[in-house]
A and B are shown apart, each in its own frame.
Chain A
Amino acid sequence: MNKLTVIYRQSLRRFFVSVGIVALTFAILQLLSVLMTGFTDGWRFVRLNDIVSGWFAGTWSVAVLIYGFLYLAFSYSDFKLGMQSGQTRQRIWLSEIASLATTTLLMWLVWELTAHGSFSWESAFSALLMIVCMMTMVFAIGSGFALLPRKWKIVVAIALPTIFVFLMIQLAQLMIKYFQPGHNTLVTLVNIASWQGTWIIFGLLWSAVMIGLSYVFTMHMQLRRD
């Protein structure tokens, strides 16, 4: 683990700095909002509990977005830093996975500890799986983009979603045209879809594929000329 530190530490530092900036920004905004409420509606409407929960909700929701963006945007920077520090591609990837796992667990823990309402292991696990699916996908996309020069990044960023939407429409049209299931088949399909195990298996498979893709992409990264 000691040898994974360069990228791992850099990644965590970046994460905490980003979350810190978001938290500070929201604290200032929240303070301004409190002052405005106090002056216009009277100070009796200002409650500390609301202020803290509002600050936390705002910080957390933006932090989640930033957290995703970090793994989308910084794969190539991490690669360059790793190569300059005498790391192999494999170690760079392992460090990124380790930092992804740490930040994911941290975000999930904070969310679960501060979530309102009753706690259940089932929903907590579902939330974790959902975050893992999202983050591994973002990481795989980020690693894939790191292979492309700037110009091609823009082309692919536009082309890929277009292709995805086109394929989805085609698939939907084909299903409407050719797939007319009987009642029993439909019931079976609904049962499969509503069984939580299906989504867990799908989520785990999805994450495994994304992690595999990120590995392949990282192993093919090179210093670009742009």
Chain B
Amino acid sequence: MEALKINGVSKRFGRTQILDDISLTIQPQTIYALLGENGAGKSTLLNIINDRNFPSKGEVVLGDHEVHNHYPSLQRLYLMSDSNMYGKRTSVSGMFQLADEGYGHFDYELAHRLTKAFGVNEHARLSNLSTGLTTAAKITCALCVNADFIFLDEPMLGLDANHRNRFYRELMKTYEQRPRTFVISSHIINEIQSLVEHVFVLHDHHLIADEDVENLLNRAYTISGPADAVDQYTQAMKVLDQQTVGKIKTAYVIEKLDDQQPIPDDVTVTHMNLQQAYLALTNGEDEINE
């Protein structure tokens, strides 16, 4: 199956630069996380990939074809977002029907099961549902639609812990049954860490990380201990972020540690989780820029 390539995409809204020369490749049958602060351009990027917005520069290519105005390509992409794309009177079942008419082979069986599990009334209008239930209905549609690349923009918006947990389990279940690509844009990083294989981080209009989660976390370290010892140990490293509480200092680095350099006895080195790595990458970038 072909990969989806984003080549040098930039986007400006008036004088505001949203994205600057973003290039990345989205492989088939992989689960990605798209991370970034509010206003980093995640939704804009997803809208551009799905041809809802035009890039100011660059292109999105699936296989040999540019996605823009190419029907077979667009039929393989599905974007679930919090934008209201349906009419005011559209019901949950109407949304499923539209996805079936648009993409074909909609999995109604799974949809009925999921709406029941989420407690969503299929006859209810989308506009009458709460934020959480609207998200649940949209998630259901996204998991049942017949597309190869599914983009989920804030799929946990308004969902309570139970519903989020159910979503993660259903996502993995449907992925195992029919592997396809999911790109999840979210701020709830800790919860999606176990789901995603690869991560993209947008920061300050640029793509600052494009890496397998395992690789990233393998070289993402928290180094803590007495300030002097930590400073000495990290002297040759690029410290992305640091915190000092009393005499104890914690430094965050994302690089391969030198096996030859002995770790002092009073210094502790542990691996970061995805959220810590994300914060180190984005905070570190800010501090470097400052």
Contacts and interface: CB of A to CB of B under 8 A. Distances in A.
Interface of A: 3, 5-6, 9-10, 77, 80-81, 83-91, 219, 222-223, 225
Say what secondary structure dominates the interface of chain B: loop
B69 A81 contact: no
Contact of B78 (A9, A10, A86, A91): A86
B51 A83 contact: yes
Contact of B103 (A10, A86, A89, A90): A86
Contacts of A5: 101
Contact of A86 (B53, B77, B83, B86): B77
A210 B75 CA distance: 29
A83 B99 CA distance: 11
B87 interface: yes
Contacts of B51: 83, 88
Contacts, number: 60
Interface of B: 13, 47, 50-54, 69-71, 74-79, 83-87, 98-99, 101-103, 147
B40 to A, nearest CB: 15
B101 to A, nearest CB: 5
A222 B85 CA distance: 12
Nearest to B74: A86
A83 B78 contact: no
A219 B50 CA distance: 15
Nearest to B88: A77
Nearest to A225: B13
A163 B65 CA distance: 43
A84 B102 contact: yes
Nearest to B101: A6
Given A86-B77, A91-B71, A81 B47 contact: no
